[in-house]
Amino acid sequence: MNITHLPTISVLSDSVTIAQLDDVKIVRIIHDKAEAAISLHGAHVLSFTPKGQDDLIWMSKEAIFNPEKAIRGGVPVCWPWFGRIANPAHGFARNSTWTLIEHRENENGVMVVLGLEASEETKTIWPFEFEARLTVEIGDQLTITLDAKNTDDKAWNCSGALHTYLNVADINTTTITGMGSSYIDGLLEGKVCSGGDTLSINAAVDRVYTQPENTVLISDTQRTLSVTNSGHNAAVIWNPWAEGAESMGDMNNDGYQTMVCVESTYHAASLETAKVIQPNESFVLSTTINA
């Protein structure tokens, strides 16, 4: 994703500016180590390009940058739940406006912290107090950490995911390892299945791998991407294939050929069985991506 041409709204430091992308504001990072972009709409990482490399993050050419819609591609923040276990699907964090809390930089890179707190609007969807922070560290690698603190006087349950869309040269020659063999198949009504240690994709895939290693490797003919997760209990792998891409108004029809989602996920079948977070405790989920 080319971020250098976007109009600048304000300059925050040598490496950090606020820029405009259609109807959303983004935090733009241009540093000797890497370039990156993060939308304040959804605290959504849109791009991460280490020096001398191609973008590791996939964005749809038809993505809509509008505060009323979730953004197709990048790294959506799915919280306080993942999937369709409540409404809206994947929670409200990805459709909320986050605030820039902090930014720091040195010769090794840039750190950006975005924040979201409970409001009357969020309480109409989920009636709890919380304080969420998304920390994005940009350098030789990209690390994204969601820390959602329970500031209520009672416990609440949540699940979540960092729904990372990765750039690959060609999905037909891409292999994935480290996800484990046991998975829940979303295309087979949640059937529990077992597969091999290596996944090649030649049709639509929507799987929740329930015993992943901490690091999943995605290899194509040009490079190997490493995705290291923590705080998770699952790794979700998703590609909509041709029929899925064609059904989405914000995804180009051939977009599925150059992407795969590998997601750091805390999966639960329902909010009642999701992770219990006591007052003053936090739900923490992270992913680190490099090539």
Residue positions annotated with a catalytic role: 163, 263
Residue 230 pLDDT greater than 90, yes or no? yes
Residue 25 pLDDT greater than 90, yes or no? yes
In this prediction, residues 94-123 reach a mean pLDDT of 98
Model confidence pLDDT, tens digit, residues 153-164: 999 999 999 999
- Predicted confidence band of residue 13 (pLDDT cuts 50, 70, 90): very high
Give φ, ψ of 18 to 5 degrees: -100, 130
* Percent over 70 (pLDDT), the chain: 100
| Residue 167: per-residue pLDDT | 98
| Residue 45: per-residue pLDDT | 99
Domain-embedded: residue 3: no
Residue 1 pLDDT greater than 90, yes or no? no
In this prediction, residues 238-254 reach a mean pLDDT of 97
| Residue 257: per-residue pLDDT | 98
Q: Which domain holds residue 138?
A: 8-290
Domain-embedded: residue 275: yes
Domain-embedded: residue 241: yes
Domain count, the chain: 1
Say which CATH number the domain at 190 has: 2.70.98.10
Domain-embedded: residue 245: yes
> pTM of this prediction?
0.97
Q: What is the mean pLDDT of the chain?
A: 98
In this prediction, residues 113-123 reach a mean pLDDT of 98
Domain-embedded: residue 166: yes
Domain-embedded: residue 2: no
Residue 274 pLDDT greater than 90, yes or no? yes
